[in-house]
Amino acid sequence: MASLKEIKGRIASVKSTQKITSAMKMVASAKLRKAQYRIERFLPYENRLTEMLNAFLAAGTEGFTSPLAEVRELKRVSIVVLSSNSSLCGAFNSNIIRLLTDAIRKYMASGCEVAVYPVGKKVEEAVKKLTVPLAIKGSYISLMDKPGFEGAKEIADQLINDFLEKKIDHVELIYNHFKTTAIQIPTQEQFLPVNLAVSTGKKTIPTDYIVEPDRDTLLNTLIPKSLRSKIYAILLDSAAAEQAARTVAMQIATDNASDILDELTIQYNKQRQQAITSELLDIIGGSEALK
């Protein structure tokens, strides 16, 4: 059984840890609000761009083809995967690394060459530890600390050029989608080739408009823009998901520290009471012996 001094030391240690987790939660909450603000500022542009693209694709584009929509036999696959640069965010990184490992295993089992674009320190470290033969394309650790459009454009343009030059046949994105503060959804979706079979849903744009120079030229301009904005959007999405995951993880850690403190306090009081009772019995016994 631990002594009173040891229990008191544990209580002080847990209180110190609780202060740290509480402070980290507040920092993550502040960063989450900033990340949400960045998403809210960018979403109107992305939504409008997607709406325009879908409207053109749905408005009598029979016969339209794009080199970015060419479906080929899978021989070379690239995967863009996003993680955080630091830990203490629950299962945020482990879920992504598991999705990535499964995807690599699936494509390699089919005889494909796999290249990975690791965006984030944790996934970059995990990819380097894999014992399978794959190519690691660059290092994008700074993009997760400060998501920027130029960095996203660099990745998107590299993927687009490699696809057009037939250096790769397929591109997938793996990232955490921010749904709510408590829910981050590990997501895996196709980036290239582009799926032209899209629908505008309930909102439609009238088709009796004049397009200059022509619809095909406009579509071939909009598609790369949409792809670049997609990479930037998932950067912002993953950054918000990371801070949400860290906020929840630090809140849970703080609550657990409170529970441990309650248990240690009860244990300390019980042992202190036992020590006092034992001392009183010794005093009473000594007093009786002197009579």
Angle between helices 215-290 and 92-109 (to 10 degrees): 130
Q: Return all residues near 144 (Cβ < 8 A) that are at least 6 apart.
A: 82, 83, 84, 85, 119, 120, 121, 235, 238, 239, 242
pLDDT tens profile 27-41:
999 999 999 999 989
pLDDT tens profile 153-199:
999 999 999 999 999 999 999 999 999 989 999 999 999 999 877 54
Has residue 288 been placed in a domain?
A: no
What CATH number is associated with residue 17? 1.10.287
What CATH number is associated with residue 38? 3.40.1380.10
Domain hosting 159: range is 29-247
Cα–Cα distance between 180 and 73 in angstroms, integer?
38
Cα–Cα distance between 7 and 12 in angstroms, integer?
9
Has residue 287 been placed in a domain?
A: no
Has residue 48 been placed in a domain?
A: yes
pLDDT tens profile 86-117:
989 999 999 999 999 999 999 999 999 999 99
Residue 275: the pLDDT is 79
Q: Per the structure, how many domains does the chain have? A: 2
**Integer CA distances (angstroms), 269 to 4, 8, 9, 12, 215, in order:** 9, 10, 14, 15, 79
pLDDT tens profile 222-272:
899 999 999 999 999 999 999 999 999 999 999 999 999 999 999 989 888
* pLDDT of 200 over the 80 cut: no
Q: Is the peptide bond before 193 cis (omega within 30 degrees of 0)?
A: yes
Instruction: Give the pair of three-digit tokens for residue 222.
Output: 């909009």
With cut-offs at 50, 70 and 90, classify the pLDDT of residue 61. low
Q: Is 9 in the same domain as 86?
A: no
Has residue 71 been placed in a domain?
A: yes
With cut-offs at 50, 70 and 90, classify the pLDDT of residue 212. confident
Q: Is 192 in the same domain as 261?
A: no
Calculated CA dihedral for residues 215, 221, 226, 231, nearest 10 degrees: 160
Is pTM, for the whole model, over 0.85? yes
pLDDT tens profile 121-159:
999 999 999 888 888 998 899 898 889 999 999 999 999
Q: What is the sign, positive or negative, of the torsion defined by CA atoms of 80, 201, 50, 34?
A: negative
Q: Indicate the average pLDDT of the chain.
A: 88
> Tokens 């229990």, residue?
7
Q: Is 125 in the same domain as 141?
A: yes
Residue 202: the pLDDT is 46
Residue 199: the pLDDT is 44
3-state secondary structure of 200: coil
Q: Is 73 in the same domain as 116?
A: yes
Residue 279: the pLDDT is 78
Has residue 263 been placed in a domain?
A: yes
Span 191-214, mean pLDDT?
Answer: 66
- The proportion of the chain whose per-residue pLDDT surpasses 70, expressed as a percent, equals 93
Residue 154: the pLDDT is 94
Span 15-31, mean pLDDT?
Answer: 95
